Amino acid sequence: SDYSTDPPRHPSLQINSKEPFNAEPPRSALVSSYLTPADLFYKRNHGPVPIVDDIERYSVSLSGLVENPKQLFMNDIRKLPKYNVTATLQCAGNRRTAMSKTKTVKGVGWDVSAIGNAVWSGAKLADLLELVGIQKLTAIAQFKGKHVEFVSVDKCKEENGGPYKSSIPLIQATNPEADVLLAYEMNGEPLTRDHGYPLRVVVPGVIGARSVKWLEAINIIAEECQGFFMQKDYKMFPPSVNWDNINWSTRRPQMDFPVQCVICSLEDVSTIKPGKVKISGYAASGGGRGIERVDVSIDGGKTWIEASRSQKSGIPYITDDDNSDKWAWVLFEVTADILHSTEVIAKAVDSSANVQPEKVEDIWNLRGILNTSWHRIQVQVAD
């Protein structure tokens, strides 16, 4: 494998691993716009970025448990109805570094910016599957247990040099309301190489690992994908499980991400002058659950202030009447008077009234996934 053909990247990205390239923007970049620009969007690769330059020849195969397998070229995919879906993509490892403070976890270290929000445009997977005779949301009993597997062209060491792959249930794939896309655009522009050019899957509301980039094949299979990233990674274990007693088959692959909330306007330890401070950040939940409330405390959790929340406004190329961004994050903001050194905390509640765990210790897991504990910032007031 060779990384010399990886694309150039934005200089302000914080690099967590060079080969493969894993990097995140400064947290302030996340709150400076509702949509995260592609060059600042976090990049999570497991191998060199593949080069797909012959776009005329590029195709995706659709096979497995289907009567008439098909090969689809970009033109075929572009002919299907085009949808714009605003969705937040979040790596399950977001905020992993903070989990290691309790006890070291294994995996690429991420601060709080392994997340981004974009408008993804492309064909619906449900429409594509109709081309091989799989009807939308019919004969559900017949679908039971079946999965749709996505296979890439990249090469990963975890797959012994084979491609990255993952799967989602067929029931979800054939549900047009689940908005699973084969996206060829991000924020109104063709996908960049780092984000899966020419075609990637976007599974809204689900951990980023299922949104396979550089898609090459779609397979209908009898059970979930047996690849490394489904079976030996991205599973949530209790704190008692360690690398000696782990039994991967006892847990299911993580799909939806839980409710998450992060302060982006302040670094973990910030020194400020006494007075008004703007506290802003993002909140998101998986599974299409919107954010119901964001609470901010400036006294270490004794009292709470409800933050104001906002979503898109006036983005010209969003034309769909799209459920008011149920897959997308909200940005929140509170302005508070801070006169003494304190701990500032943010936490969110989603539309199913799910709340975040108070302490990271309670959800510690050896792979360091899904750190959604209350986000805490130590603020030192210099007078």
Judged by CB under 5 A, the residue of 49, 209, 330, 345 near Mo ion is 209
Q: How far is the CB of 93 from Mo ion (least distance, A)?
A: 6
Using the minimum distance from each CB to ligand MTE, give the nearer residue, 194 or 322: 194
CB count in 10 Å sphere of residue 168: 25
Residue ranges in 140-169 that form contacts with ligand MTE under rule CB under 6 A = 152, 154, 164
Taking CB under 6 A as the rule, does residue 89 contact ligand MTE?
Answer: yes
Contact partner at residue 45 from Mo ion, ligand MTE, none, CB < 5 to 8 Å by partner kind? ligand MTE
Closest CA to 327 of 303, 348, 343, 351: 351
* 206 secondary structure, DSSP code: B
List the interface residues with ligand MTE, window 26-65 (CB under 6 A): 41-46
Q: Among ligand MTE, Mo ion, none, what binds residue 39 when CB lies within 5 to 8 Å by partner kind?
A: none
Closest CA to 32 of 201, 281, 270: 281
Between 116 and 287, name the residue whose CB sits nearer to Mo ion. 116
Distance CA 186, CA 119 (A): 6
Q: Residue 85, interface with ligand MTE (CB under 6 A)?
A: no
Q: How far is the CB of 234 from ligand MTE (least distance, A)?
A: 7
289's contact among ligand MTE, Mo ion, none, with CB below 5 to 8 A by partner kind, is none
From candidates 91, 218, 220, 346, binder to ligand MTE by CB under 6 A: 91
Nearest-angstrom CA–CA distance, 193 and 48: 11
Which stretch, 26-34, 37-45, 173-181, 280-288, contacts Mo ion (CB under 5 A)? 37-45
Q: By the 8 A CB rule, do 329 and 282 touch?
A: yes
Pick the stretch among 12-20, 130-138, 207-215, 321-329 that binds Mo ion (CB under 5 A).
207-215
Nearest residue to 294 (alpha-carbon basis) of 251, 252, 263, 325: 263
Name the minimum Å distance from CB 45 to ligand MTE. 5
Scanning the structure block, which residue is given the tokens 């009993």? 141
Smallest separation (angstroms) from ligand MTE to the CB of 141: 31
Binding to ligand MTE (CB under 6 A) within 166-205 occurs at: 194-195
For residue 283, give the nearest of 119, 86, 115 by alpha carbon. 115
The yes or no reply on residue 44 touching Mo ion (CB under 5 A) is yes
Which residue, 43 or 376, has its beta carbon nearer to ligand MTE? 43
Binding flag, residue 120, ligand MTE (CB under 6 A): no
| Closest distance to Mo ion from the beta carbon of 92 (Å) | 5
Rounded Cα distance between 344 and 93, Å, is 23
Looking at the DSSP bridge assignments, the partners of residue 183 are: 122, 200
Going edge to edge, which strands form the sheet with 260-263?
A: 260-263, 275-284, 330-338, 308-310
Between CA 211 and CA 87 the distance in angstroms is 12
Show the site string, 209-238: x = touches ligand MTE by CB under 6 A, - = not.
x-xxxx------------------------
Identify what 195 binds: ligand MTE, Mo ion, none; CB under 5 to 8 Å per kind: ligand MTE
Q: What is the 3-state secondary structure (H, E, C) of 152-196?
A: ECCCCHHHCCCCCEEEEEHHHHCCHHHCCEEEEEECCEECCHHHC
User: What own/partner pairs with CB < 8 Å and gap ≥ 24 does 154-158 have?
Assistant: 154/45, 154/46, 154/47, 154/48, 154/49, 154/50, 154/213, 154/214, 155/1, 155/47, 155/48, 156/20, 156/46, 156/47, 156/228, 157/1, 157/46, 157/47, 158/46, 158/228, 158/229, 158/232, 158/233
211 binds, among ligand MTE, Mo ion, none (CB under 5 to 8 A by kind): ligand MTE
Query: Does residue number 377 form part of the binding site for Mo ion (CB under 5 A)?
Result: no
Positions that interact with ligand MTE (CB under 6 A): 41-46, 89, 91, 152, 154, 164, 194-195, 208-209, 211-214
Positions that interact with Mo ion (CB under 5 A): 44, 91, 208-209
